[in-house]
Amino acid sequence: MIAIVDYGMGNLASVKKALDYIGEESVITDDSSDISKAGGVILPGVGAFAPAMENLALKGLDTALINACASGKPFLGICLGMQLLMDGSEEGVTVKAGSHAQISGLGIIPGKVRRFPDMGLKIPQMGWNSLIDCKGSLLTEGDYVYFVHSYYCDPQHKSDIAAMTDYGITYCSALESGNVFATQFHPEKSGEAGLQILSKFARRVRA
């Protein structure tokens, strides 16, 4: 069983539908005990970083997610769910030269979430883009996947980067650290490539 975490800010139905399509059992839940009992966890997300962290804390899900990652069970963060794994984010913070202000995240993957610089490109990045495979991860199936985001993850340890993508800059678009996986793109909206990624994650859960 895969637990899809409901904290009021996720594309839950799309993720559940994709898992149903590939024949994987899953449940949408905001119950910490369900997360503890699940064989794997998916943390989806659409929206802003600070309200997401507030919602997780209000439901006691922040501790449940940290414990799930520490337990060794397969864990997948998607879009905002990937960003929440980091130490903190610039989103919602007025960043000045030399400032290190940030809103705290779950601190599961060391690093920071940054806003795309002004590059003359449309922000948010919205649409299909390619992946540059960095370590042969299960997250780098196919050539093109679907993105919608204005911020990107800047991990402290480059060994955690599973894939990168070019959009004005070359940034981290997927993470892999032990049992923790994360994608800035939406596998549930990425056609056959995305379904293959979810299938490989599900196989890891069953292993």
**Any catalytic annotation for residue 134?**
no
Single out the catalytic residue among 69, 90, 153, 186: 186
Q: Which member of 24, 69, 79, 149 is catalytic?
A: 79
Rounded-to-integer distance, Cα 4 and Cα 43, Å: 6
Catalytic residue chosen out of the listed positions 24, 91, 176, 188: 188
What are the CA-CA distances from residue 105 to residues 49, 77, 102, 168, 204 (Å)? 8, 13, 9, 26, 26
Active site includes 186? yes
Q: Is 153 designated active site?
A: no
Give the DSSP H or E segment for 69. helix 61-71
Residues with catalytic function: 79, 186, 188
